[in-house]
Amino acid sequence: MTVTLRQALSHDLDALYRLEQVAFTGDRFSRRQLWHLLNRAHALTLVAERDAEDLSPMRLLGYGTLLFRRGTRRARLYSFCVHPDARGSGLGRRLLEALEAEAKARDAEVLGLEVRVDNRVALGLYRRMGFRPERWLSDYYEDGCAGWQMAKPLLPEQGAAQASEG
């Protein structure tokens, strides 16, 4: 199976909505919220899509949305979703790497996110990718689950930069 990453377009709305329904049991985006992210928000959504030759009814295997706020160098990973059938395939890592590259290309210095404390798979991925907890979020999700606010610096570390100069 070949998977392509590309920027989401307005015509992806139905597929994104179906993916939300399959991947999450709560805290799902509505069609209206997804439409806003695609068309009005200061945001970028990347999708992971199967080949056109793949006849599977679910062509979108994942997506991630970055929010950018004017006047700040901090980007926010607002939503990140991988189809249950694609989990463990490396797709999440590939998608997150592409989103980080997009944030850097827009001059973001920090990438932040929120994650449920009971989502061990996502927490593991984010930690392996260099995200660190910043703040505990009590009763953050609609079902009362707590969360972590996490962040990753996108600039090279000072020590690494100085070592390469010397």
Q: Is the pLDDT of residue 38 over 60?
A: yes
Distance CA 8, CA 151 (A): 24
DSSP assignment letter at 93: H
Residue 36 three-state SS: helix
CB 45 within 8 A of CB 38: yes
59 Cβ contact partners less than 8 Å away, ≥ 6 residues apart: 15, 49, 50
Residue 77 three-state SS: strand
Whether the model clears a pTM of 0.85, i.e. scores above it, the answer is yes
Phi, psi of 57 (to 5 degrees): -65, -20
pLDDT higher at 66 or 160: 66
Average pLDDT of the chain, as a whole number: 89
Q: Is the pLDDT of residue 80 over 60?
A: yes
Mean pLDDT of the region 137-164: 80
- From its phi and psi, is residue 139 left (phi > 0), alpha (psi between -120 and 50) or beta? left
The pLDDT score that the predictor gives to residue 57 is 58
Q: What is the pLDDT of residues 95-149, one digit of tens each?
A: 999 999 999 999 999 999 999 999 999 999 999 999 999 999 999 998 999 999 9
Residue of 152, 87, 139 whose CA lies nearest to 113: 152
Lowest-confidence range among 43-47, 62-66, 82-86, 94-98? 82-86
CA Rg, the chain, in Å?
16
